[in-house]
Structure 1
């Protein structure tokens, strides 16, 4: 999206950006699928998946309109005149830190989501892990908010998943 008052060609403006480039911009609008960021002569979009490592339901939980943010350019599509940005790419992946310090750790963690094949529990600041239904001898899953004593059994950085066992 280009500023209507700017006579520059959209493609020319987009060509001035490089993949991996870090830019400062202002959140111009929030949509259910992500946010648009005003980078001066052009807006780029940060998709929901690129906003944060943390789980959230609405982009307004992460940023607000008018907020200045720093983003990384992920893609520039000259044909469609679009630019994809990431806020998450400039944040430390909390799962990487977890692998350095906590594999095998036992901790008390609240259930954040119940699904047919298990429960997700929060094991760190915004980090969730799965306790598979097979860990529950009677097959009955605890409800959201219930605290469990869990052990971090495996961390798969490639799939960005953490497997937990009942301790």
Structure 2
């Protein structure tokens, strides 16, 4: 029996307060955890020594047979129990883990706990880690509170055990993810295909859309078939849009996109709908030195040359017309293959041919040219 006791004692670990040892969870309840640490007595982890989160239920994070690191607080609590701390062991062990992650550049997952001046705090096994606002995302972060409770994949960008300083970056992870996405997009991009994206920025000349790692540009003229003077008339930053890939150049990293449906070109319908001598209604959308552009339907515009505005001599188009004016014009030339329509306001104002057509349509009886023009001839002296 003496020999047996001696053998058992030799097989037992030599433990002392402050040691960190491996243990296996035997039992868990709401107040404590029982752990086998290879000693003559099992160890007990009180609830307050399990985690920094005082409200956590031990059963939510530990279960029987889990292997964990524990720090010995007391070899004997007076009742023969060894008192352990998991949270203090984690704080010691975690520095070695953090150093490995830091040197290897390996991302880790953390959960944001609170907002502080200049950024947010995300604890790592009891170690306070800081994420500066500038490192939360590639994009500008307006509301830091929106990150509370979020789990983020981050990289360690600064680590100092002596001063217990840990600085993390979500931005660095996003950069790497973006580079991978960019390579994938360039591999699969095709002209004429549809892609979904997010509007990231508006400029005078168009809107930039993130296709998931690469930005493309929708030029003003490709936002809509109708004339657009400001991209904000059609889209806003943050909008999710479906766009057509018009063209791209990987070397220059340029992608041209179109928001308008390239298959629904209104000029295709214009060929069927309009012909020379037709009288059309339209709105003046742009004025130049040489004439005025009139939109006769969304995406279809015609030019009224300055000489076709009025019978009177005018030096400037603005003497007669303003942007927004509703006008009646006659089609005097139609070249749909060149997307060109020439209009004449002065010929439409003559109106004789239109009157004749209207009269014939509304009167079934036989009429003469004299009947049609008699009102116009009244009062004229020969």
Q: Taking structure 1 as the reference length, what is the TM-score of the superposition?
A: 0.82
| Number of aligned residue pairs | 165
Of the candidates 126, 137, 147, which is equivalent to residue 311 of structure 2?
A: 137
Relative contact order (C-alpha < 8 Å, sep 6+): which is higher?
1
CA offsets per residue over residues 29-71 of structure 1, 9 Å max, x none? Answer: 1112211112223222212232222112111112111222211
Assess, with a 3 A threshold, how the Cα gap between structure 1 residues 16 and 152 changes in structure 2: closer, same or farther: same
Greater strand fraction, Structure 1 or Structure 2: 1
Query: Offset of 1:9 from its aligned partner?
Result: 6.9
> Is it true that 1:47 corresponds to 2:226 in the alignment?
no
Q: Tell which deviates more after alignment, 104-113 or 79-88.
A: 104-113
Query: Offset of 1:137 from its aligned partner?
Result: 2.0
> Is it true that 1:4 corresponds to 2:170 in the alignment?
no
Q: 2:267, 2:339 within 8 Å by CA — same for their partners in 1?
A: yes
Q: Taking structure 2 as the reference length, what is the TM-score of the superposition?
A: 0.39
- Alignment partners' CA distance in 2, 1:108 and 1:81: 44
Instruction: From the CA coordinates, give the structure whose radius of gyration is larger.
Output: 2
Q: 1:20 matched to which residue of 2?
A: 192
Greater helix fraction, Structure 1 or Structure 2: 2
Query: Offset of 1:15 from its aligned partner?
Result: 1.8
Of the candidates 104, 118, 122, which is equivalent to residue 295 of structure 2?
A: 122
Q: Which runs of 5+ in 2 are unaligned?
A: 1-173, 349-382
Q: Which runs of 5+ in 1 are unaligned?
A: none
SS in 2 for 1:26: strand
